[in-house]
Amino acid sequence: MKFFIDTANLEQIKEAKDLGILDGVTTNPSLMAKEGIQGKDAIMKHYKTICEIVEGDISAEVLSTTYDEMIAEGEELAAIHSNIVVKIPMIKDGVKALKYFSDKGIKTNCTLVFSAGQALLAAKAGATYVSPFLGRLDDISTDGLNLVEEIRLIYDNYMYETQILAASIRNSMHIINCAKIGSDVITSPLAPILSLLKHPLTDNGLAQFIADAKKLG
């Protein structure tokens, strides 16, 4: 399973990269705004910087919602670096844009996916990645992991090459359960990734080993 970090924060991206487990980065307009990135030039520059830090797929989201605008914007984003993945919302014009970029050999990430039907359409349109938003479904008392399972079944039935990129991850159990289901990728904030490291028995055991090591002289 590939690990992407879901942030536009350069320090956190570097920290995840230094851990040696990072395969890519996803961002969205809210994450960019959180970092105070404003204006087209600053946004493009920020994506370029991320591409220089991480060798892997970097999702850059279009801000427009009509077909023509998404195509123009996506082409500009794709021109920043060969690792840019154009992130497109699951709307009618978005499906058409996914097909356009797929035919052109430009990678895409279909975002804001909340149903198996939407994921099926994204795969039919040739999306490279589909992003079901687990946490946001959980937030409305709907089982987000169940959606990942449904998409896995459908994609396996027809051997669709679209990769499931489980998004809106809130905790380490989301990551573990996605791995059990067979999600191709998870994209997570840094904290849930780091909490995979933690177990009290590891800490206790290490403290004991260190104490005993001192007795060895």
For binding to ligand E4P (CB under 6 A), which residues are involved? 6, 26, 28, 111, 131, 133, 135-136, 167-168, 187
CB of 24 to ligand E4P, least distance (A): 11
To the query of whether residue 215 is one of the catalytic residues in this protein, the response is no
Nearer to ligand E4P by Cβ, of 74 and 212: the residue is: 74
Cite the beta strand spans of 62-107 per DSSP E.
84-89
Burial class (CB in 10 A: 0-12, 13-18, 19+), 184: middle
CB of 113 to ligand E4P, least distance (A): 10
Separation CA 198–CA 64 (nearest Å): 41
3-state secondary structure of 113: strand
Separation CA 8–CA 26 (nearest Å): 8
Burial class (CB in 10 A: 0-12, 13-18, 19+), 174: buried
For residue 53, give both structure tokens.
Answer: 């830090």
Nearer to ligand E4P by Cβ, of 90 and 121: the residue is: 90
CB of 139 to ligand E4P, least distance (A): 8
In the set 45, 87, 96, 215, the catalytic residue is 87
Q: How far is CA 110 from the centre of its chain?
A: 10
CB of 128 to ligand E4P, least distance (A): 13
Nearer to ligand E4P by Cβ, of 34 and 202: the residue is: 34
Neighbours of 156 (CB within 10 A): 10
Nearer to ligand E4P by Cβ, of 21 and 33: the residue is: 33
Cite the beta strand spans of the chain per DSSP E.
2-6, 24-26, 57-61, 84-89, 108-113, 129-132, 163-166, 185-188
| Residues with catalytic roles | 87
